[in-house]
């Protein structure tokens, strides 16, 4: 699919209590800003699914950035399957769950196959998730090239964290 697929789809729909995701199971390549700001600011959502991205081999800039940012009623959030990716552009999953203050569980994507990432890789990923007690760090051991602000402020403001788990 091209650029901007479902970007800002339900942004700031503060009374929305449920939100489905589209069937993306047949996709192999997505352009820039795939599902960028998809549910941003949906403060009444208590759960949110993620799209089936298991067939993806290539993604552009802003892949799922700010996907659930400021969804303050979410208590858990999964991540898309990114195991088929070897390189990603700028802003990969940056601010994915930023300011989701009720989150008690947050997964991390499978990044073990990545060799190259652009700027702002997972920048502000869990920033301000003040109810998280544990958070893992993705496996980045295969990376050969990284851009600026790599994982900057990844877990800043997670004031309840008692465990930050390295791969």
pTM of the model: 0.95
Q: How confident is the model at residue 73 (pLDDT cuts 50, 70, 90)?
A: very high
Q: How confident is the model at residue 66 (pLDDT cuts 50, 70, 90)?
A: very high
Query: What is the rounded distance in angstroms from the CA atom of residue 134 to the CA atom of residue 95?
Result: 18
Residues 105-152 pLDDT 10s = 999 999 999 999 999 999 999 999 999 999 999 999 999 999 999 999
Instruction: Measure Cα distances from 56 to 49, 68, 72, 86, 141 in Å.
Output: 17, 20, 29, 10, 21
Query: What is the rounded distance in angstroms from the CA atom of residue 118 to the CA atom of residue 3?
Result: 17
Q: Is 67 helix (H, G, I), strand (E, B) or coil?
A: coil
The β-bridge partners of 9 are none
Query: What is the rounded distance in angstroms from the CA atom of residue 3 to the CA atom of residue 29?
Result: 11
Mean pLDDT value across residues 73-98: 95
pLDDT at 91 (0 to 100):
97
pLDDT at 166 (0 to 100):
87
Mean pLDDT value across residues 32-54: 97
> Which DSSP string corresponds to 34-48?
TTTTTTTT-TT-S--
Whether residue 38 contacts residue 30, with contact meaning beta carbons closer than 8 Å, is answered with no
Percent of the chain surpassing pLDDT 90? 99
């Amino acid at each position: 699919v091209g650029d901007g697929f479902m970007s800002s789809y339900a942004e700031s729909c503060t009374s929305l209590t449920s939100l489905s995701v589209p069937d993306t199971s047949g996709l192999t390549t997505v352009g820039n800003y795939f599902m960028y700001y998809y549910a941003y600011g949906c403060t009444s959502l208590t759960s949110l699914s993620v799209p089936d991205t298991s067939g993806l081999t290539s993604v552009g800039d802003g892949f799922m950035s700010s996907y659930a940012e400021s969804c303050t009623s979410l208590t858990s959030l999964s991540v898309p399957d990114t195991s088929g990716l070897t390189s990603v552009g700028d802003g990969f999953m940056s601010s994915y769950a930023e300011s989701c203050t009720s989150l008690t569980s947050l997964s991390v994507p499978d990044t073990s196959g990545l060799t190259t990432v652009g700027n702002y890789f997972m920048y502000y990923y869990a920033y301000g998730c003040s109810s998280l007690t544990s958070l893992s760090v993705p496996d980045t051991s295969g990376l050969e090239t990284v851009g600026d602000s790599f994982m900057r402020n990844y877990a800043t403001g997670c004031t309840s964290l008692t465990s930050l788990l390295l791969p």
